[in-house]
Amino acid sequence: MTFYMKKTIISISFDDIDYPMGGCTTHLTGLFLIELMKRKRIELADYPGLVRLNPAIPWKTRGNAATLVRLVVNSYDDSEDIFEIAKSLVTQYCYERKETQKGPGIVMVVGKAWEDPHLRIVYRRAVHDVVTKDLIEKVLDKVKAKKWGNRGVIGATAALAALAPGDPYTFELIAYRKPELWGTKRCLYFDAFWRVEAKLPPCVFNNYDILKRKVSAAPQGPDPILAGFRGTCPGYLKCYKEVLCEEPHFWLLYRTNQHTDQYNIPTFSFRPYKSGSIKGTVISDPLILQGSHVLVRLMDKRGRKVNVLFFRETGPLKETAMHLRSGDEIEVVGSFRPFSSSKEPVFAADKLHIMFVSRTSLIKNPRCPRCGARMESDGKMLRCPRCGFKLPKHKIVMDIPRTLKPVTITAEEGQWRHLLMPTFLYTPRLIKLPIKINNNQIVSLGFNPPVIDPSISCGEH
Ligand code: ATP
């Protein structure tokens, strides 16, 4: 660490802060911010960051999330204090429950981490590939970071340079449950979801499917999250307060790389746990597997073959894949599955972009020019079975009309993976960092969410 006396930006990041029966990195980050606000006058340099990494990573518990807090501090001692607070909170959170934990990690770096090229490389790699501990050690050495913990240090390091100016982002406002309620049924007014959603602009998404009347904002498990509301317009997210009949312990507004397609990077190595996009030509008609999943074989420009899997749960994505035919040119975004017994790599698709729809045709005997019946082979000639008319033998090519059109399609709302960008979304980007943000715009205790824009009204219900 370098010594300094004047105002300086620090970034502190967390990952793998959960344990078998609950907990969550984003929750610990909220507790950390609340603790900091109690003990110090803190100056935020950005919203707290919720950073999704490679969705194919096998060590993840749920959605492979790391978190990030950017602060302006006054002195070296200040940053040391902050690191110590983080360490003692994480220790309490993970170890004092006496449950086998997985390997929490904390990293802190001084300066504008988002501008550091080494940290940017780690972030870019971590969203679509497996990052080794060796690379992390080297980079942390270079940037003179302070680190603590185990495997979580990988994700925490990757998060440091995420959400840089120019990067797309969205928001998630998360309501956390009181600890005594963890593991019990969540109290939500399901009817209120419909009313709230119907009044909000389309910049809120993946919270409730109005057509199917299905809630996607609330998880099911024993974790501390009551509900998380997503959108690109943070001012409107407070309106979802109406759907809660359980008083949250606290609320936290995150800026996040969710739904920004950051993992959509062309992938040229076909190996397990890699995510990205593959362009190629369909070389088989779709195969319907047990469980109604659909498999399509694809060959890329280098002649390598890959089985692309469209899970039944992806709904319209799988339905569209069923209409693919040999010769179609497509691009798929998704992740490689672990090695399968078939030895051929299997890529699970989250998004399908149809670039070119091929002609499909049938080769047949022509119709009889006299009566219109289909001609039949008769030695070296063709013969009409109805009127006996004869023609020299030849075939005709008949086009089969295709219903498929060039289109980009994803699973339906509620089934999107965290990083997947829906086709309708326009994502904002920051021009510069740091930004000025007040504590009460991002965190609040009890029933009322933090208010980022008081001029926004949620309307009469
Ligand atoms: P939670 O929501 O509770 O944080 P999670 O689904 O985010 O759970 P973690 O418990 O954070 O999962 O576990 C993910 C682990 O994988 C972490 O230890 C993290 O350091 C590691 N990891 C994340 N991305 C990569 C990557 N690209 N390469 C290698 N390791 C990674």
Condensed to tens digits (0 to 9), the pLDDT of residues 324-342 reads 999 999 999 999 998 766 6
CA of 55 to the centre of ligand 1 (A): 9
Which amino acids bring their CB within 6 angstroms of ligand 1? Answer: 15-16, 18, 24-25, 53-54, 57, 59-65, 102-103, 105, 126, 130-131, 151-152, 154-155
Q: Assess whether pLDDT exceeds 60 at residue 6.
A: yes
Residue that is written with structure tokens 């309106």 in the block: 239
Nearest to 204 by CA among 176, 229, 174: 229
Whose Cα sits closest to atom 11 in ligand 1?
16
Q: Assess whether pLDDT exceeds 90 at residue 255.
A: yes
Under the banding of pLDDT at 50, 70 and 90, the label for residue 245 is very high
Q: Which atom of ligand 1 is nearest to 15's Cα? A: 11
Average pLDDT of the chain? Answer: 93
Higher pLDDT residue, 49 or 268? 49
**Percentage of residues in the chain having pLDDT higher than 90:** 80
What's the pLDDT score for residue 341?
Answer: 66
Whose Cα sits closest to atom 1 in ligand 1?
24
What's the pLDDT score for residue 101?
Answer: 58
Under the banding of pLDDT at 50, 70 and 90, the label for residue 4 is low
Q: Which amino acid is at 54?
A: N
Dump pLDDT digits (tens) for 220-232. Answer: 888 899 999 999 9
Q: Assess whether pLDDT exceeds 60 at residue 192.
A: yes
CA of 190 to the centre of ligand 1 (A): 32
What's the pLDDT score for residue 211?
Answer: 81
Tokens of 50: 């919720």
Q: Which atom of ligand 1 is nearest to 54's Cα? A: 27
Task: Give the pLDDT mean for 299-314.
Answer: 94
Whose Cα sits closest to atom 21 in ligand 1?
155
Q: Which amino acid is at 378?
A: D
Whose Cα sits closest to atom 22 in ligand 1?
155
Q: CB–CB of 382/392 below 8 Å?
A: yes
β pairing state of 408-410 and 346-356: antiparallel
Q: Assess whether pLDDT exceeds 60 at residue 83.
A: yes
Q: Which of 53, 94, 136, 263 is the best mutation target for the ligand 1 pocket, counting ligand atoms within 8 Å of the beta carbon and taking the most?
A: 53
CA of 45 to the centre of ligand 1 (A): 25
Higher pLDDT residue, 171 or 92? 171
CA of 258 to the centre of ligand 1 (A): 15
- CA 384/CA 118 separation, integer angstroms: 75
Q: Which atom of ligand 1 is nearest to 128's Cα? A: 27
Q: Which atom of ligand 1 is nearest to 18's Cα? A: 3
Under the banding of pLDDT at 50, 70 and 90, the label for residue 436 is very high
CA of 396 to the centre of ligand 1 (A): 58
Dump pLDDT digits (tens) for 135-159. Answer: 999 999 999 999 999 999 999 999 9
- CA 399/CA 363 separation, integer angstroms: 9
Under the banding of pLDDT at 50, 70 and 90, the label for residue 387 is very high
What's the pLDDT score for residue 98?
Answer: 57
Q: Assess whether pLDDT exceeds 50 at residue 445.
A: yes
Task: Give the pLDDT mean for 171-200.
Answer: 94
Q: Which atom of ligand 1 is nearest to 23's Cα? A: 3
Q: Which atom of ligand 1 is nearest to 65's Cα? A: 7
- CA 261/CA 305 separation, integer angstroms: 24
Whose Cα sits closest to atom 23 in ligand 1?
155
Kindly report whether the peptide bond that precedes residue 434 is cis, defined as omega within 30 degrees of 0. yes
Tokens of 7: 């105002």
Domains and CATH numbers, the chain: 1-263+419-461 (3.30.70.2200), 275-360+400-410 (2.40.50.1010), 365-398 (2.20.70)
What's the pLDDT score for residue 173?
Answer: 98
What's the pLDDT score for residue 461?
Answer: 41
- CA 364/CA 456 separation, integer angstroms: 66
Dump pLDDT digits (tens) for 85-134. Answer: 999 999 988 866 655 556 899 999 999 999 999 999 999 999 999 999 99
- CA 262/CA 123 separation, integer angstroms: 10
CA of 91 to the centre of ligand 1 (A): 18
What's the pLDDT score for residue 100?
Answer: 54
CA of 183 to the centre of ligand 1 (A): 23
Whose Cα sits closest to atom 17 in ligand 1?
152
Q: Assess whether pLDDT exceeds 90 at residue 459.
A: no
Tokens of 117: 């090229």
CA of 151 to the centre of ligand 1 (A): 8
What's the pLDDT score for residue 399?
Answer: 86
Task: Give the pLDDT mean for 10-28.
Answer: 89
Q: Which atom of ligand 1 is nearest to 102's Cα? A: 10
